[in-house]
């Protein structure tokens, strides 16, 4: 079924009895050409692009829970391509371009909303860094505007410009940044992949790998063994656990990241705003809730819930920046397990085990990367060569020293 305005009208007039399930619920086959472990954004996008770009459809996506149960349905929905380093910026700009055509491509309303993103700066050195980043963005075609204090005040009069704890000197604005309805993205990719013959298999946990003579020949699952010529692991916060089953250790730690949403308010926030003197960022959902978050909890965990001291710290950041937020009531808060790499940048690479591929290390920024992450993993698996924009995202970069240290923080996961 193709979704369209006419279809909605037709269904509306005939009792909504014609809608079909968005994807099938097939039983797993004994063997596939390609098995993708993890039905989050990256796994599902990879399956979709393997089918649509490379014409490969003998694929199963194995998901231990339900589609959208992981970070793809838990994030704060921000998309942007405001990176600095050549190892990152072209990749995120490809992702932004894919976002811009995504809904037409997958025929699914993902509520892509490019209402802009502003990174605030509070000191002169921070302004210098913003100028440098903005220039890198302009060179990559991402677009960037440097806002001085007056221009920023006109855009965001609710920020505390008069009694501020950290003086707001301006902001780097990416007008093409914004938000996307998070779980709709993975549902849309799943539907598109399913329509092309990909088996989307929920409640199927991968519990081991069939590795013989250094070659991966399939996976063990809670629904039996499944053979495969190629296997890709895209399990985000579970990367360490799952790759451990294949005998591999990763330069990744798992941490919990929390987020909060308030009651619905009238439109107040023009786009996404990030505080430059503390860890706090905020946007407003289409339903009116202020969606905000900040730092990871700071200890290693696989728990999908965090603790109140971090929430307090995030709320303090919000109060320091825009005291009006103190009047809003928080409705919900939640956590997701993020796979923090040591330099804050991701991996899309083959592994030392032949036929086993890995995509991970997405930290707390992997949602915006979903289209390009899937596209580049599909490219690597189908052609055997890394995509041009993901060449630097190698697993061995901590051996060679070619790290992608976007923040210049060094090899410490909780600082990225």
Ligand X SMILES: Cc1cc2nc3c(=O)[nH]c(=O)nc-3n(C[C@H](O)[C@H](O)[C@H](O)COP(=O)(O)OP(=O)(O)OC[C@H]3O[C@@H](n4cnc5c(N)ncnc54)[C@H](O)[C@@H]3O)c2cc1C
Q: What does the binding site for ligand X look like in residue numbers (CB under 6 A)?
A: 37-43, 62-65, 69-72, 74-78, 205-206, 234-238, 242, 257-259, 293, 336, 338, 362, 364-368, 370
Smallest distance, ligand X to C-beta of residue 235, A: 4
Q: Which residue is nearest to ligand X (CB)?
A: 40
169 or 258, CB closer to ligand X?
A: 258
**Residue of 58, 24, 65 lying closest to 228 (CA atoms):** 58
Closer residue to ligand X (CB): 63 or 103: 63
Alpha-carbon dihedral angle through residues 379, 384, 385, 391, given to the nearest 10 degrees:
70
Query: Nearest approach, Cβ of 177 to ligand X (angstroms)?
Result: 10
Residue 159 or 363 with smaller CB distance to ligand X = 363
Q: d(Cα 133, Cα 85) in Å, to the nearest integer? A: 9
How far apart are CB 37 and ligand X at their closest, in Å? 5
- We find the least distance from the C-beta atom of residue 239 to ligand X, in angstroms, to be 9
Of the two residues 325 and 370, which places its CB atom closer to ligand X in the complex?
Answer: 370
> In terms of CB distance, is 23 or 362 closer to ligand X?
362
Cα Rg of the chain, angstroms: 21
Q: What is the dihedral of CA 108, 109, 110, 115, to 10 degrees?
A: 140
In the complex with ligand X, which residue's Cβ is closer, 131 or 333? 333
The least CB distance from residue 11 to ligand X, in Å, is: 30
Rounded Cα gap, residues 123 and 345, in angstroms = 26
Do residues 321 and 280 lie in contact, with contact meaning Cβ atoms separated by under 8 Å?
Answer: yes
Dihedral angle, C-alpha 89, 95, 100, 105, nearest 10 °: 160
Nearer to ligand X, 37 or 169 (CB): 37
Contacting residues for 279 by C-beta, under 8 A, at least 6 apart: 294, 295, 313, 314, 317
Q: How far is the CB of 295 from ligand X (least distance, A)?
A: 11
Residue 40 burial class via C-beta count within 10 angstroms: exposed 0-12, middle 13-18, buried 19 and up: buried
CB 238 to ligand X: min, Å: 4
Residues 389, 381, 349, 200: is their CA dihedral positive or negative?
Answer: positive
């Amino acid at each position: 079924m193709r979704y369209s305005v006419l279809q909605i009208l037709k269904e509306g007039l005939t009792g909504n009895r014609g809608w079909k399930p968005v994807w099938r619920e097939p039983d797993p086959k004994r063997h596939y050409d390609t098995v993708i472990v993890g039905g989050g954004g990256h796994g599902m996008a990879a399956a979709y692009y393997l089918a649509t770009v490379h014409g490969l459809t003998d694929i199963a996506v194995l998901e231990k829970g339900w589609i959208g149960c992981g970070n793809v349905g838990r994030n704060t929905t921000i998309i942007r391509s405001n990176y600095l380093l050549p190892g990152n910026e072209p990749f995120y700009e490809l992702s932004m371009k894919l976002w811009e055509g995504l809904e037409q491509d997958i025929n699914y309303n993902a509520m892509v909303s490019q209402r802009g993103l502003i990174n605030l700066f509070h000191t002169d050195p921070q302004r210098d860094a913003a100028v440098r980043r903005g220039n890198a963005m302009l060179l990559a075609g991402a677009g960037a505007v440097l806002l001085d204090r007056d221009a920023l005040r006109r855009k965001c009069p609710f920020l505390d410009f008069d009694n501020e704890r950290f003086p707001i000197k301006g902001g780097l604005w990416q007008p093409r940044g914004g938000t996307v309805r998070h779980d709709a993205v993975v549902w849309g990719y799943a539907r598109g992949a399913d329509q092309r013959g990909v088996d989307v298999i929920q409640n199927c946990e991968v519990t081991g790998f069939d590795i013989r003579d250094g070659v991966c020949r399939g996976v063990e699952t809670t629904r039996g063994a499944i053979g495969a010529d190629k296997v890709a692991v895209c399990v985000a916060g579970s990367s360490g656990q799952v790759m451990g089953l294949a005998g591999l250790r990763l330069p990744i730690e798992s941490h919990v990241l929390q987020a909060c949403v308030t009651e619905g308010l009238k439109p107040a926030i023009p786009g996404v705003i990030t505080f430059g003197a503390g860890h706090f960022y905020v946007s407003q959902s289409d339903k009116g809730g202020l969606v905000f978050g900040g730092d990871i909890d700071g200890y290693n965990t696989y728990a999908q819930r965090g603790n109140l001291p971090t929430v307090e710290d995030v709320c303090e950041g919000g109060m320091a920046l825009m005291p009006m937020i103190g009047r809003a009531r928080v409705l919900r808060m939640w956590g997701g397990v993020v796979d923090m790499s040591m330099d804050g940048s991701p991996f899309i690479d083959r592994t030392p085990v032949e036929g086993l591929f890995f995509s991970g290390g997405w930290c707390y920024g992997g949602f915006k990367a979903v289209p390009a992450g899937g596209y580049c993993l599909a490219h690597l698996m189908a052609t055997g060569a890394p995509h041009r924009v993901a060449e630097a995202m190698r697993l061995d970069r901590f051996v060679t020293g070619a790290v992608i240290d976007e923040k210049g923080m060094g090899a410490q996961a909780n600082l990225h």
